[in-house]
Amino acid sequence: MDKLPARLNARLARRLELLVLDVDGVLTDGSLWFGARGEQLKRFHVRDGHGIQLLAAAGVQVAVISGRRSAAVTARCRELGIAQLLQGAADKSCALDRLLKKLSLLESQVACIGDDTPDIPLFVRVGFAVAVRDAHPLAARAAHCRTTLPGGHGAVREVVDWILAMRSGQ
């Protein structure tokens, strides 16, 4: 919490109603474990999970939009109580449209964390767009700020800490 991103003032933080997360490269470090039958494992991080539960407890919803499909993601989201899970989203901007309509929210009420160029259409729309530290250079440039931690190593928790600190007026 030493240095909060300039973009995130208290007004923006209190306005946020939804945090949209990418999976591969954000909730994970981008690794895909393959066996003979295709992808078999994903590696998540315990401190990200704790952050997601803290944010939900503070009344901010969490959604996951992923370009891939993975039963491991379904299992992890179930454990964390993430009800809004959109997998196989070829066009993430369309997926966001569906989410906003379903939840009756505005783009400005949404924060988003991504790592690669398919996330840029989300970054340019939402109120607070964050790239993980090891994001693709183009995604990093399109975001409002970058985390200090890489994806899969607590980057999501870092953003949650920023938002909660700003909302509580710290």
Return the number of the residue (51 or 127) whose C-beta is nearest a second copy: 51
Site string for a second copy, 89-108 (x = CB under 8 A): --------------------
The 18-21 sheet, strands edge to edge: 84-86, 61-65, 18-21, 110-114, 128-131, 145-146
Helix (H, G, I), strand (E, B) or coil at 16: coil
Size of the site for a second copy (CB under 8 A): 45
- For helices 46-57 and 71-80, the axis angle rounded to 10 degrees is 50
Q: Residue 27 and residue 137: Cα distance in Å, rounded?
A: 18
Longest Cα separation, the chain: 51
Return the number of the residue (34 or 108) whose C-beta is nearest a second copy: 34
Among 33, 58, 88, 168, binds a second copy (CB under 8 A): 33
Q: Which of residues 64-83 bind a second copy (CB under 8 A)?
A: 68, 71-76, 79
Binding residues for a second copy, rule: CB under 8 A, are 1-2, 24-25, 28, 30-47, 49-50, 68, 71-76, 79, 115-118, 134, 136-137, 152-154, 157, 161
